[in-house]
Structure 1
Amino acid sequence: MSALENEIADLWTRYNNGDVTAETADEDVSATLEAFLEALEAGEVRAAEKRDSAEQRSAGSRTSSGNGEWEVNEWVKQGILLNFGLRENRAYEYGGVDHYDVLPLRETGDLGDRGTRNTPDGTTIRRGAYLGSDCIMMSPSFVNIGAYVGDGTLVDSCDTVGSCAQIGENVKLGANTLIGGVLEPVESAPVIVEDGVSLGAGCRVTSGFVVGENSVVGENTLLTPRIPVYDLVEEEVLYGELPPERRAFTRFVESSVSDHDLFDGGAYKPAVVATDLETETLEATEREDALRE
């Protein structure tokens, strides 16, 4: 365990035992909380990481569609919760508007040096969020604490990247996309969007769903463990994940209440259909890459 991990573990125990509160937190506690947020913002620690099979030791491991597994770093989520529990609500000023929170917004002076852009009038990054190199944040958009946004990723207008969500490299989050946050319980896996994924406008990814690398998801698709994914490539039904290299879109299948008298013509429920990536979809993605460059 790193020194920071040990400090967070000790502070977590003291907090849950009632030995330290927001009112009694001293300078040492504040220094630990600040060091933790700085490590998150530098990408040195993450709420979840993909590890090779030989490294999978935690009961919180989550199988992903590619090689290795996504493993939750529970102590990181504990550190985020401590930053909420051990700080007092206070006034901050942002863009000329006063607001109240336990955390300020993230300083963005380091982004320009890495070629990352956050357009004016509405891009909001909370403390403890990481943005890689050559990212683009269009306004208005929001990235929450603990989120990790990889190099070259586009966060489009009206997008939300929730707490602890892990977004890979060269991902496109279409306009009005919601990436849900998963903070508690600490052992629960966050939403994962792997490298090279393209999510169409209006998509929703929630409750720890894993989107496999290089997949293309049609607009307004809801990806959540409660909705089945009919993978026509491997001919199986999946829950909670979309395999890599898929084209996915929403279709409706017959509901178990279809024969009820109230449903004239039958009742239907949403499902996600996953197929091979089609040539024309790849060409469209390549065209967008050219425009971004």
Structure 2
Amino acid sequence: MLLGLKNREALRIEIVESTCSNLLNNLYDQKASAEECEVFIELLNQGKLRAAEKVNNFWVPQPYIIDGVLNYFGTHGNARMEGKYWDKIPLKTANYTDQEFEQGGVRYAPGCMVRTGAYIGPQTVIMNLAFVNIGAYISGEGCMIDGGARVASCAQIGKNVKFGAGSGIEGILEPAGRLASIVEDHVKIGAMCEVTGIIGEGSVIASGVIMASGKKIYDEDTGDFVSPLECIVGDKKFLLPVIPPYRLAVGGSLPSKKGNHNTDAVILKAGDLRDSATMRHFTKQGILYG
């Protein structure tokens, strides 16, 4: 039996039909056997486990997921895959039947790569040259991962999210306990972006925006900077960037403290994207998707 946190609920109990009686403890200790790791990976494939869960409107990291993925690396050696690849993590769909593809409800375009241990929800499209790593969770219901886009390890992607061509989201396997990168529902990310931290529901990230820890996010509505989310792991503290819900983020620059140069920044344009007039204005400017 596995205990975990469920999206928007207080507690989840998953009953695992397996001889692996101490799976959770073994994953925490990174002492799980190859068989136990296979059970764990299948739970990730099915979306029953994920690296972060939203509880009472707060995202909570599930560190045993990272422990389990690292444990899997340690119990599996490299092997030939697809005739010309040499790796220890097989592709999610390597042995899929036509029926499994139909039941999954996901379009996998030629040339895309999705590693096992990633959950891909129904009504998702993975375009050519897109890459989805182990532990990632894509909710589906209108998700599009465009050509060349990258969803890294343990990243959490909400419903109806559009990832523009060539964009990527930061992964997290170490240190265990750090919150995974999260994109909430109905977010649109333009082409050639690099994002990390948390992007709130309904926000739009204009093409070419680069988010990074330590990079300032300036809010035109408040005239102030958006405070990062503090995440403490052991004796280390991480500051994760946050884009509030229903905002448009564009690339820009701000004067340095000494005023002798400008520093790269993310600018939140004034207005709420739930306001149709604001949305029409940004669309007319042509800055939503580049």
Residue 14 of structure 1, CA deviation: 6.2
- What TM-score comes out, normalization by structure 2 length? 0.78
Higher helix share: 1
Q: Contact 2:30–2:68 (CA<8 Å) still a contact in 1?
A: no
Counterpart for residue 49 of structure 1 = 53
Residue 115 of structure 1, CA deviation: 2.5
CA distance in 2, matches of 1:282, 1:257: 33
Deviation digits for residues 109-155 of structure 1 (CA, Å, limit 9, x no counterpart): 434323210111x1100010010010011101100000001112100
1:224 to 202, 209, 212: 212
2:59 to 67, 70, 73: 70
Counterpart for residue 211 of structure 1 = 199
Q: Contact 2:30–2:67 (CA<8 Å) still a contact in 1?
A: no
Counterpart for residue 38 of structure 2 = 34
Counterpart for residue 26 of structure 1 = none
CA distance in 2, matches of 1:6, 1:192: 29
Q: How does 1:82-101 map to 2 (within 5 A)?
A: 82-93=71-82, 97-101=83-87
Question: More deviation in 175-184 or 227-236?
Answer: 227-236
Q: CA, structure 1 residues 81+280, in 2 after alignment: closer, same or farther (shift >3 Å)?
A: same
2:129 to 129, 140, 146: 140
Gaps of at least 5 residues in structure 1 are: 21-28, 53-67, 260-266, 289-293
CA distance in 2, matches of 1:269, 1:236: 16
Counterpart for residue 254 of structure 1 = 255
CA distance in 1, matches of 2:157, 2:282: 20
Gaps of at least 5 residues in structure 2 are: 3-14, 229-240
Deviation digits for residues 58-116 of structure 1 (CA, Å, limit 9, x no counterpart): xxxxxxxxxx11100111111111011121122222xxx41111121112543432321
Q: Contact 1:111–1:133 (CA<8 Å) still a contact in 2?
A: no
Residue 11 of structure 1, CA deviation: 4.7
CA distance in 1, matches of 2:80, 2:161: 35
CA distance in 2, matches of 1:185, 1:115: 34
CA distance in 1, matches of 2:183, 2:282: 18
Q: Contact 2:202–2:247 (CA<8 Å) still a contact in 1?
A: yes
2:119 to 104, 107, 130: 130
- What TM-score comes out, normalization by structure 1 length? 0.78
CA distance in 2, matches of 1:155, 1:14: 32
Q: Contact 2:125–2:144 (CA<8 Å) still a contact in 1?
A: yes
CA distance in 2, matches of 1:280, 1:101: 48
Q: Contact 2:27–2:64 (CA<8 Å) still a contact in 1?
A: no
Q: CA, structure 1 residues 242+11, in 2 after alignment: closer, same or farther (shift >3 Å)?
A: closer
Q: CA, structure 1 residues 11+175, in 2 after alignment: closer, same or farther (shift >3 Å)?
A: closer
Question: More deviation in 140-149 or 229-238?
Answer: 229-238
SS at match of 1:117: strand
Counterpart for residue 8 of structure 2 = none
SS at match of 1:128: coil
